[in-house]
Amino acid sequence: MQAEFFKAAGPNAATFKAMMDALPDVAFYMKDAEGRIMALNKRNCDFCNIHDELDAVGRRSVDIFPPALAQDFASLDRTVLRTGRPLVNQASDHNADWSSDKHVKSIFPLHDGKGRCIGTTCLYYKSASTQSSPDWHGAMKPVTDYIQTHYTEDVSAEKLASMAGMPESSFRTRFSQTFGISPGRYITAIRLNAARKLLEDTEKPLSEIAVETGFWDQSHFTKMFKLERGVTPGEYRRKHRRA
């Protein structure tokens, strides 16, 4: 499937994809006209928590992400396919790693040798601007704002439910309906985002990173990192260590 798509996209498509793999801080994808992923670079795999590009090839956003994210990702591609015009420097706050970062996206149509639109390609990167949790979090926004700044602490579902003004059982249900994951997994994702940055940018020992990002100890940190990210913290650091 991927080979056929690259053949239709022309001789420069594979070279362009290889170039995107070499960029450390820019995420990239190609999709066909049916919305199926044809290519991802390494940074996009990191953002989307996909261990290997081939794990995603042939799948659609709805097959990988919770509905709140998948709908946004797919709608931008459909707009480009429908209009045939690129979307350039579009701000987006639907982030696959659940961070509150604002990303800037540019999505372009892909054409074959006969000028037919056969898919889309996208580049996106983290904006220099910072923000609180995005507005689409709705009633959960005060909760996610709190988690983003207190993830190193013992954040209980009971406390979060109180902040949302709901019984705990109702809060858990509402949170999962909004994000597609439980409050506990959301907190873990935010902690792992902070840990990933420290692994990439510092030489701090794993035991120190574990404590700084809210895990019980190094063993707990390693267990959760491997469970959620598919590799150990040490393996992730070796792959992403900054020059």
Q: Is the pLDDT of residue 188 over 50?
A: yes
- Name the DSSP letter for residue 236: H
Reported as a single tens digit per residue, the pLDDT across 209-240 is 999 999 999 999 999 999 999 999 999 999 88
Annotated domain spans of the chain? 2-126, 135-240
Q: How much of the chain exceeds pLDDT 70, in percent?
A: 98
Residue 243 has pLDDT above 80, yes or no: no
Answer whether 2-126 and 135-240 agree in fold. Answer: no
Mean pLDDT of 159-173: 96
Region 135-240: CATH code: 1.10.10.60
Q: Predicted confidence band at 196 (pLDDT cuts at 50, 70, 90)?
A: very high
Pick the CATH number of 2-126 from 1.25.60.10, 3.30.1060.10, 3.90.550.10, 3.30.450.20: 3.30.450.20
* Residue 1: per-residue pLDDT: 84
Q: What is the pLDDT of residues 77-126, one digit of tens each?
A: 999 999 999 999 999 889 999 988 889 999 999 999 899 999 999 999 98
Assign 117 to helix, strand or coil.
Answer: strand
* pLDDT(163) > 70: yes
φ, ψ at 71 (rounded to 5°): -65, -40
For the full predicted model, state whether its pTM sits above 0.75: yes
- Half-sphere exposure of residue 115: CA atoms within 13 angstroms, side-chain side: 0
